[in-house]
Amino acid sequence: MLFIVIEDFTGSDRKEIYRRFRDRGRLKPDELVVHHSWIAADMSRCFLLVEADDVTLLQRWVIEWADLVEFEIVPVAANRDMVAALSGHL
pLDDT bracket for residue 55 (50, 70, 90):
very high
Sequence-distant (6+) residues with CB within 8 A of 13 are: 68
Name beta bridge partners: 36. 49
Sign of CA dihedral 45, 48, 54, 57: negative
Number of domains in the chain: 1
Host domain of residue 24: 2-89
pTM: 0.88
Mean pLDDT over the full length of the chain: 95
The closest of 60, 73, 74, 66 to 29, measured between CA atoms, is 60
Which CATH number covers residue 37?
Answer: 3.30.70
**Mean pLDDT to the nearest integer, 29-38:** 98
